[in-house]
Amino acid sequence: PQPYHTSALSGYGWVLELLTGHPDRIRCELGVSHYVFDELITTLRRLGHSGSRSVTLEEKLAIFLY
């Protein structure tokens, strides 16, 4: 079988690749569109959530959705 997850990036680099890449990729990997991801980040920030010293809020959300 051919490997599916072939990105050399991890962490925030991988999330950034999803956010700036082809729109179908973020939907395929996380199950939501770029717009929905951004709205979730905005809502989480409004509710007081934030990233930590080593993990951004975007990474946390991507891990949860993955």
**6-63: per-residue pLDDT in tens?**
777 788 999 999 999 888 899 999 999 999 999 999 999 999 999 999 999 999 999 9
Q: Which residues of 10-37 are buried (b: 16+ CB within 10 A; e: fewer)?
A: eeeebbeebeeeeeeebeebbebebeeb
Look at residue 5 in the predicted model and tell me its pLDDT: 67
Inter-helix orientation angle 23-30/34-46, to 10°: 60
Look at residue 36 in the predicted model and tell me its pLDDT: 97
Is residue 4's pLDDT more than 90?
no
